[in-house]
Structure 1
Amino acid sequence: MPVLTRDEAQTRAALLDVHHYRIALDLTGGETFGSTTAIRFTARTAGTTFVELKPAALHHVTLDGQVLDPAALDGNRLPLVLGAGEHELHVEADMRYSRTGEGMHRFTDPADGETYVYTQLFMDDVQRIFAAFDQPDLKAVFELAVTAPPHWTVLGNGIARPAGDGRWELAPTPPISTYLVAVAAGPWHSVRTEHAGLPFGIHCRRSLAAHLDADAEEILGITRRCYDRYHEKFTEPYPFDSYDQAFVPEFNAGAMENPGLVTFRDEFVFRSAVTDTERQTRAMVIAHEMAHMWFGDLVTLKWWDDIWLNESFAEYMGYQTLVETGDFPGTWTEFGVSRKGWGYDADQRPSTHPVAPAPDAVPDTASALTNFDGISYAKGASALRQLTAWLGEKEFLAGINDHFTRHRFGNATLADFLDSLARATDRDVHGWARSWLRTTGVDTLAPDVTEEDGHWRLAVRHDGSRPHRITVGLYDLDPADPERLVPRPPVEADLPGTPVLVLPGRRPDLLLLNDGDLTYAKVRLDPRSWDTALGALSGLPGALSRAVVWNAARDMVRDGELAPAAYLRAACAHLPREHDNAIVQGVLAFARTQIADLHLPADERPDALAGLRALGRDLLERATAPGVRLTAVRTLIASALRPDALRAWLAADTVPGGPVLDPELRWRILTRLAVLGALGPAEIDAELARDPSATGHEGAARCRAALPDQAAKEAAWEAMFATDDLSNYLFTATAQGFWQPEQLDLVRPFRARYYPAAVALAARRGAALAEAAGRHAFPLTLVEEETVRLGEECLRVADPAPALRRKLVDQLDDLRRALRIRG
């Protein structure tokens, strides 16, 4: 089916003014649901256009009372011939439920047999639910009625009220974009309250009720405090009539900012033990999505080239506002040591793009969808953090409030936002935007330090073109404790602009550029500073400072300037004395999944895993914080090469000294035992009987695909690529189990089969499964030239769908980097 182009959207926006949608959905059926739509709109002049729709069956269409031929539907477009003036379009159709997390996703909970449905309409999936002029700058009022089974509850953008016989009426919305319409229906377990005169609610599947209840006050407390903080920052009040948060099954993203009804993946309803960092991540997502009520919902992009106006702002505001509420004051540390690397990695691949691409660089919705990546989120948020440091927070907030006031319930562009900023400052924000938002790549900052009698000099080598305002941290080894660093007063610098700094006394033992992590750039340490860091990194005061050093080490490994084994040695030396779980978690994740599995040759991997096991045991012996202990146990499980200890833990149902084995840890152990060939199908079935939840079914699928057995691999392959029976989550779980570094000889014959199978799947099942096939089912463990050669051939001749093509480009670049590092 054709995708919408930017030119087509501009033409249609010039022709139409859309006023109101009245939509009726009947969710009482089986494989399909009924959809009736009435759209009132004005044609400014006579002309032709189209409305989008992807029906299972199109029954009846009228335009201004005149019947149109349903057979005129061409793919997803129904042509309309319009005279100037007012019009009303009526469309009656049956629509398909989805198992891919797109459109109207339908899920039956294996724990109790209850069924739930919810919408995910981002980009262009509203066409799977009802007929629409589907582009962000044709905002309208939406009024929905939903008929559902009698024991269901219906949630939507506005307050939902039961009208009898399973029918629910949702309050009309203010003007919003089509992709922001939301419905969630099913026998939800709900916790409701009121705040600032508005109804607030959180909702989940009934089988997760006890877990939601356990965290309800934490979730609602964070929600209230973020709401209050945003009202202190923003002059525009919250623009909708209620605030519901629904934790829904098999959700593709982390969350979606539907006005008044935010949907989250229901893994955020924790049914097993999690670390404080994982709780912080959930809180950040709550803050991020609430920021969207202003950035994206109240003021919406005009076209998808400006997605950063949604995501970069919500990302920055989510992290910053969570710090300001006091719930998690170390939030920026997690951003620095984990999230920011997502942006750095994306920005160094061939698929990189500016934070704000030129409009003609996003010619259609298919190309726009590929830009939801580490650049639009992490790099964009980093740029805004640097903008705030450069501009001043008062001026920044004045600019965004002007932006909200001028464009409330409308659409805006980068130019509109910069105009609002310019009214709040005398600084050259347009020049800043050209340097930061229209360029690609990562700048690198490195110190040049020289010492002379009585003073020392610092010059900063700047590889790149962006301006940076940075803090330079200066630290000395404590004479009484050589593993502890003592700070001197820091130095501020503007690049370019600050000349060579001449400072009195002897040079510091550790000089740290971008201390505080206020800019987006790779940082290098001079040799003496690096030697100091290797000996005293865990003694560096300030978790965010330590995160900057760990990020520098990470970048040096990826750039071939630091041996992967040296990074592992640093982790083994310093993580046992690290108290910030975000750093422990982030460093161990890079060490285990990137260094051990990708960057080290296969013959060096056992020694690396042995080192990680020793580190995990050291952490367990020293740590008292439950989060650090849990992170250590997960590392021990993932790094095991013998089944003995894992078997003992399973038998005892606990790790000595804790934690107790909850379902999440049990499935981790079983997956590792399956990889090692120490587990059979009968044990997987027994564990699934013990945990028949949706998560249990995913764990069982992962284990079965991980078995080192030809028949098991063939069965997993058949399930992924030969049928369309797997939901998005079960596909991902199966793919995660399939390719294992311990099983290279067994899985190598599947490599040549992967590329044609993935191309066919992407064409058949759509963008969400295409992305999953490229991310999770890709043979990344086969770090070999042949994997790259076959992938390049696929890109050249097979014409993969855009979502799959983008993932293949990224995965092949990561493989080339791994091959260079191994070399």
Structure 2
Amino acid sequence: MPVLTRDEAVARAALLQADRYQVELDLTTGHETFGSTTLIHFTARAAGDTFVELKPAELRAVTLDGEPLDPGLLVDNRLALRLTEGAHELRVEAVMRYSRTGEGMHRFTDPTDGETYVYSQLFMEDVQRLFAAFDQPDLKSVFELTVTAPEGWTVLANGITERGADGRWTAAPTPPISTYLVAVAAGPWHSVRTEHAGLPFGIHCRRSLAPYLDADAEEILDVTRRCFDRYHEKFSEPYPFDSYDQAFVPEFNAGAMENPGLVTFRDEFVYRSAVTVTERQTRAMVIAHEMAHMWFGDLVTLKWWDDIWLNESFAEYMGYQTINECTDRYPDTWVDFGVVRKAWGYDADQRPSTHPVAPDPEAVPDTAAALLNFDGISYAKGASALRQLVAWMGEKEFLAGINTHFARHKFGNATLADFLDSLASATERDVHGWAAAWLRTTGVDTLAPAYDPAAGTLTVERTGTRPHRIAVGVYDRDLADPEQLTLRTRITTDVPGGPGESGGVPLPGPRPALVVLNDGDYSYAKVRLDAESWETAVRSLSGIPEPITRAVVWNAARDMVRDGELAPTAYLDAARAQLPHERDLALVQGVLGFAAGQIADRCLAPADRPAALALLTDLTRDLIRRTEDGSDPGLRLTAVRHFIDAADRPGTLQGWLAEGEVPGGPELDPELRWRVLARLAVLGAVDEDTIAAELARDPSATGEQGAARCRAALPDPAAKKAAWERLFGGGEDLSNYLFTATAQGFWQPEQAELVREYVPRFYPDATELAARRGAAIADAAGRYAFPVHAVDTDALALGERHLAEAELLPALRRKLIDQLDDLRRALRVRSGGR
């Protein structure tokens, strides 16, 4: 199946202009397919040959300017067109397939009540799964959508929809938008509607989730209104669409999608079970992120996919910053960004697959290559770079440049050069030089302190090439409580530090107990602690006054483990000593996540894993005891979750399950019950009858996923064989979510011997699956079905050989490159960094 190349897109954009699409969809034709009729009004600037994209189940009829074309002209996903200069009308009638992979038009039947929902996800090149289109971002057009839906359904789209006769819904025409941003969601939605700033706002979910959406509706709408108002304070261009709907949809692959006027979110954001304040904060940040796209991404859109970072980095930065500014409902969002998102960026930037935040256009020759760049670099590193840019040039100047950009390119397309020109108009600083250093380079700089006690100065030693504007935090022990630290001073400095780069930062007074580079976390760099500062951190990390500083220190420890400079057990010892006193939930979650998922499961040899799990069990038990008074339910919930995951004996968990609660709380809601059952399945303490009974108790979509995860985790050869067949066998294809749940359950460190025979089978089976089912399942297979527990040289050699010899779908190849690099790193850590 050919993918669109950049050269083809440039040629087609030069040849034609897409004026207007009239799209009719019929969702009443059955469970497998739907009807799609498209009339494209476009203008050819000259005579020439081109093509329109379409991936139909059946192409029924095509006419160009009223003359029929041979449907046989459709080869793979391209219908060839021979054009004369002037205006044209292309009409395409087709039957299209519903998807179960979250691509195109995804169809889902809710096992709770049997209701069916469909929604579109057209990102990158999937509009052709819905209707015929000139599918590239710089051929913007007006879209007029009509949808015939079953009785009792509501149709949502980019514009306000109205129901007419015979179940036909008509959406208001859109302003000029890109093809990948067209959206439709249809089904018997439960909706909460309101109005704000003269516009209709709505939030929507499946009927079975109605009580949970209603419980959080005011919080979601309050965040939405606050973000909307804050963006109107920041941006001079008003919100450019006629309404703002947010639909929480099932089996969604991403966190959300910025369709103008109809943002789609994964419906796990409608919480069925207890969650922490940081999880609510994440939902709020995603709401803010997607709303930022209404301006940067939808109003002004990239010209080609090399500039996808302009969409995602901007929205990522604005999402975190705006939630911090417009509500005091949540903690400091930048702490969570520091321990979760930046770690994602740092990891991606140190792999062989790294790429610049803004790659050269030639490095993104087609859509298949572009799809690989939706990673921690385009999101987290890019947002970090923008945060550094704002610190460097000033927020007032940054926003002035952004508003110039919107005014110059509204309802059009723009490039990195356009963006930099807009910023340059608002500052005397060399933003083009900044971009060359930050956006066109790869890798992570490392900053290390060198203290000269005789001179009373600190020199920042940098490995790398980028300039950094950072704060240096200088801390002393509190005289009243030596376990606490107090800030002596915070010094802002530039790295390089000045002419000749020979000067140091003056630190008058006695040797500080702790020196923290990049205090405040405004730059993107790995930092190191000197020996005395590390000794202080081990003893008093939780005594550092500000959580963002503690995040920087914990990240330094994390990076030192990954780079073989700190023993994994030393990190665990620091966690054991400091987390019982930690006050910030995002930090507790981040440290426990790394300790369990990376150190216990990968960085330590199998013989050392039981001791690591015992330490985590003791640590989380302490946190549970600390919260017995009900003072911190989020911390207690986090501790309970990690206690469950680390349990190496079934007794306590079986007792909780029998009682239906943890003594002193919380109650075992569906999320916790399935979590307990999954761990008991790994330990061989449940059977199929127990899993089936729990599924009967919770016959929801998440219940089905929980049961699939548990069944795949059972330490039984027959269960493993059945799970592998469901994943790769080619019978009834699992939906994207059921595939992921089954894959998550299959590999367990405790069951290494049981599943050893499947390690070599993974590579050919995943390769065939990816070729058969496409990019979304290829990504899921590489992410979740990879044998991450198999940390040995034989597993590495096996993967390297397959990577060198096999013909792989690009999405799977990228995932395997990353997984094998992580495997090499784990082997180096196990060998003491050698």
TM-score (normalised: structure 1): 0.99
Q: Which residue in the other structure is 1:577 paired with?
A: 581
Corresponding residue for residue 297 of structure 2: 296
Structure 1 residue aligned with 2:561, among 533, 557, 561? 557
The one-letter amino acid paired with 1:606 is P
1:544-588 Cα distance to aligned partner (Å, 9 max, x none): 000000000000000000000110111111111111100000100
Q: Does 1:500 align with 2:508?
A: no
Q: What's the offset of the Cα at 1:784?
A: 1.2
**1:444 and 2:446 matched:** yes
Residue in 2 that maps onto 1:5: 5
Q: In 1, Cα distance between the equivalents of 2:714 and 2:8?
A: 50
CA contact (8 A) 1:671 1:703 kept: yes
Q: Give the drift of 1:207.
A: 0.3
Alignment of 1:647 with 2:654, yes or no, is: yes
Where in structure 2 are the equivalents of 1:711-790 lying within 5 Å? 711-723=718-730, 724-790=732-798
Using the alignment, how far apart are the partners of 2:483 and 2:209 within structure 1?
A: 46
Displacement after TM superposition at 1:164 (Å): 2.0
The one-letter code matched in structure 2 to 1:493 is T
Report which stretch shifted further, 481-490 or 182-191: 481-490
Amino acid aligned to 2:531: P
Gaps of at least 5 residues in structure 1 are none
Whether contact under 8 Å (1:322, 1:329) holds in the other structure is no
Of the candidates 604, 608, 613, which is equivalent to residue 612 of structure 2? 608
Shift of residue 504, structure 1, vs aligned partner: 2.0
Q: Which residue of 1 aligns with 2:406?
A: 404
Which runs of structure 2 are paired with 1:655-694 in the superposition (5 Å)?
655-694=662-701
Tell me the equivalent position of 1:205: 206
The answer to whether the aligner puts 1:142 opposite 2:146 as a matched pair is no
Contact kept, 8 Å, 2:289 with 2:319, in 1: the verdict is yes
In 1, Cα distance between equivalents of 2:787 and 2:513: 44
**Which structure 2 residues correspond to residues 227-626 of structure 1 after superposition, within 5 A?**
227-326=228-327, 327-452=329-454, 456-498=456-498, 499-623=503-627, 624-626=631-633
Q: Aligned to 1:449, what secondary structure does the other structure show?
A: strand
Does the Cα contact within 8 Å between 1:512 and 1:525 map onto a contact in 2?
yes
Question: For 2:215 and 2:825, how far apart are their aligned partners in 1?
Answer: 44
Q: What's the secondary structure of 2:28's corresponding residue?
A: coil
Instruction: Report % sequence identity.
Output: 74
Which residue number in structure 2 is paired with residue 816 of structure 1? Answer: 824
Q: Report what 1:630 is aligned to.
A: 637
2:38 equivalent in structure 1: 37
Instruction: Tell me, yes or no, if structure 1 residue 797 matches structure 2 residue 805.
Output: yes
Partner of 1:53: 54
Instruction: Tell me the residue number matched to 2:224.
Output: 223
Q: Tell me how far apart the structure 1 counterparts of residues 770 and 573 of structure 2 sit (CA, whole Å).
A: 42
- Rounded Cα–Cα distance in structure 1 between residues aligned with 2:183 and 2:796: 41
Q: Report if aligned partners of 2:473, 2:517 keep a CA contact under 8 Å in 1.
A: yes
| Counterpart residue identity of residue 396, structure 1 | F
Give 1:407 deviation, angstroms. 0.2
Q: Which amino acid aligns with 2:722?
A: A
Which sits farther off after the overlay, 527-536 or 503-512? Answer: 503-512
Q: Deviations over 1:292-323 (max 9, x none)?
A: 00010000000000001100000000000000
What amino acid is aligned across from residue 172 of structure 1 in structure 2?
Answer: P
Amino acid corresponding to residue 820 of structure 1 in structure 2: R
Q: Tell me what 2:64 maps to.
A: 63
Counterparts of 2:84 and 2:395, CA distance in 1: 50
- Which deviations, in whole Å up to 9, do the C-alpha atoms of 1:625-670 show, x marking residues without a partner? 1110000001110001100000000011000111110000000000
Identify unmatched segments of 5+ residues in structure 2.
Answer: none
- In the TM superposition, what is the alpha-carbon distance from 1:67 to its structure 2 partner? 0.4
Distance 2:79 2:91 in 1: 12
Question: When the two structures are superposed, what TM-score results if normalisation uses the length of structure 2?
Answer: 0.98
SS state at 2:79 partner: strand
**Corresponding letter in the other structure for 1:605:** R
Deviation at 1:329, TM superposition (A): 4.3
Give yes or no for contact 2:201–2:244 (8 Å, CA) kept in 1.
yes
1:702-721 superposed Cα distances (whole Å, 9 cap, x missing partner): 00000000000000000000
SS of the aligned residue for 1:593 comes to: helix
- Alignment-mate amino acid for residue 342 of structure 2: K
Does the CA-based 8 Å contact 1:160-1:168 persist in structure 2? Answer: yes
Find out whether 1:114 has 2:115 as its counterpart.
yes
Displaced runs of 4 or more, over 4 A? none
Counterpart AA for 1:484: Q
Deviates more, 1:525-534 or 1:342-351: 525-534
Contact 1:383 1:519 in 2 (8 A): yes
**Residue 404 of structure 1: CA displacement?**
0.4
1:483 aligned counterpart, secondary structure? coil
Q: How big is the shift at 1:456?
A: 1.1
Q: CA deviation at 1:181?
A: 0.2
Rounded to whole Å, the distance in 1 between the matches of 2:369 and 2:666 is 45
* Aligned-residue offset at 1:489: 2.1
CA deviations over 1:490-536 (Å, ceiling 9, x no partner): 11110113421233211211010000000000000111111111111
Q: Mapping of 1:166-185 within 5 angstroms?
A: 166-185=167-186
- Residue deviations 1:393-439, cap 9 Å, x none? 00000001000000000000000000001110111000000000000
Whether the 8 Å contact between 2:277 and 2:330 is mirrored in structure 1 is no
- Write out per-residue CA displacement over residues 362-381 of structure 1, whole angstroms, 9 at most, x where no aligned residue: 00000000000000000000
Secondary structure in 2 aligned to 1:745? coil
What CA distance in whole angstroms lies between the structure 2 residues aligned with 1:263 and 1:541?
A: 39
Per-residue CA distance 1:574-605 (angstroms, 9 max, x = gap): 11111110000010000000000000000000
**1:23 and 2:30 correspond:** no
- 1:98 and 1:105 in contact (8 A); partners too: yes
**3-state SS of paired residue (1:747):** coil
- Cα-to-partner distance string for 1:169-220 (whole Å, 9 max, x where unaligned): 0000000000000000000000000000000000000000000000000000
1:245-270 Cα offsets, whole Å, 9 max, x none, are: 00000000000000000000000000
Structure 2 equivalent of residue 157 of structure 1: 158
CA distance in 2 between partners of 1:699 and 1:329 (Å): 31
**2:278–2:330 CA contact under 8 A, matched in 1:** no
SS of 1:489 mapped into structure 2: strand
Shift of 1:338: 1.1
Q: Which amino acid aligns with 2:824?
A: R
* Whole-Å separation in 2 of the counterparts to 1:142 and 1:227: 25
**CA separation in 2, counterparts of 1:287 and 1:711?**
46
Compute the RMSD of aligned alpha carbons. Answer: 0.7
* Alpha-carbon distance in structure 2 between the residues aligned to 1:170 and 1:389: 43
